Amino acid sequence: MKILVGKNYDRVSEMTANIIATKVKEKPDAVLGLATGGTPKGVYKRLIAMYNDKKIDFSKVKTFNLDEYYGLSSNHPQSYAYYMKTNFFDYINIKEENAHIPDGLAQDIDEECHRYEQAIKDCGGIDLQLLGIGHNGHIGFNEPDDALHTSTHLVNLHEKTISANSRFFGKDEEVPRQAITMGIGSIFGADEIVLIASGEDKAEIIAKMINGQLSSKLPASMLQIHKSLTIIIDEPIQKHL
């Protein structure tokens, strides 16, 4: 496990974008695992700027998003499909067929989860997985539980997650209660993982994730034993470690 510290959110975003850009330069057809939430927005902004400066080409890149709310269509303004379009995909030259996100309206959930997992395998697996972290230690939407799922599955969101995400919806009642998420095994299959966090409010969970025991009650702790994990945090978090 490698821990890198950036002065602030902007620096964390820049360092992360540079790692992704280097990967895409080395391997133009890289398979990237992508995350949503507030934290990665700065990374996407920087990657778009690099694309505009002709420093990165996404024409052969394939992407797999971690998760999607169950019950939201891809054009719902709070769906992760919409987030990815409006924060990243609409501004770069990625091919639509190469950008994968679980289908939040899938009729047959088991089939959709199996299809998604197979699509990752068919692309040869994820080269670099970008992750944020929830305040309760969730990654993707793998919530703390007695046991963790290996592959893509439907999950019931925790109250804490629902209320954290209500800021995007306006009201708690409008936040979907379920999501489709890649499992811990799907995430672990990535050759390289970069987890980013910024702001003092993430310090407690980052400290537990790094120093605590491996536990399904803190899904991100599992990453401690990944072969190539880089955690990029800012100084406000570092001060509390």
SS3 for 129-197 is EEECCCCCCCECCECCCCCCCCCCEEEECCHHHHHHHHHHHCCHHHCCCEEEECCHHHHHCCCEEEEEC
Contacts for 52 with CB less than 8 Å, ≥ 6 apart: 91
Q: Does 144 bind ligand GLP (CB under 6 A)?
A: no
The pair of structure tokens assigned to 170 is: 């306006």
* 140 lies in the binding site for ligand GLP (CB under 6 A): yes
Residue number, 60 or 168, with CB nearest to ligand GLP:
168
Near ligand GLP by CB under 6 A: residue from 1, 10, 38, 160: 38
* 218: DSSP letter: B
The single residue among 6, 33, 132, 219 that binds ligand GLP, judged by CB under 6 A, is 132
Question: Dihedral of CA 41/195/137/190: which sign?
Answer: positive
Rounded CA Rg of the chain = 17
146 given a catalytic annotation: no
Our CB check for ligand GLP shows the closer of 62 and 202 to be 202
Among residues 65, 67, 112, 234, the one annotated as catalytic is 67
Minimal distance in Å, beta carbon 69 to ligand GLP?
Answer: 9
Q: Which residues of 207-218 are buried (b: 16+ CB within 10 A; e: fewer)?
A: ebbbeeeeebeb
State which of residues 30, 35, 50, 222 lies at the interface with ligand GLP (CB under 6 A). Answer: 35
Selected binder of ligand GLP within 33, 37, 104, 183 (CB under 6 A): 37
Of 59-118, binders to ligand GLP (CB under 6 A) are 66-67
Task: Find the binder of ligand GLP among 141, 152, 209, 233 (CB under 6 A).
Answer: 141
Q: Which of 134, 183, 189, 219 binds ligand GLP (CB under 6 A)?
A: 134
Residue type at position 228? S
- The yes-or-no answer on residue 103 being catalytic is no
Told to judge if 235 belongs to the known catalytic residues of this protein, a careful annotator would answer no
Sites for ligand GLP among residues 145-174 (CB under 6 A): 161, 165
The region of 31-39, 49-57, 108-116, 209-217 touching ligand GLP under the rule CB under 6 A is 31-39
- Nearest Cα to 155, choosing from 215, 79, 68? 68
| Cβ atoms 33, 130 nearer than 8 A | yes
Beta pairing class for 128-131 and 153-156: unpaired
Residue 138 annotated as catalytic? yes
* Minimum distance of ligand GLP from residue 12's CB (angstroms): 11
Q: Which residues bind ligand GLP (CB under 6 A)?
A: 35-39, 66-67, 132-134, 140-141, 161, 165
Catalytic residues: 67, 136, 138, 143
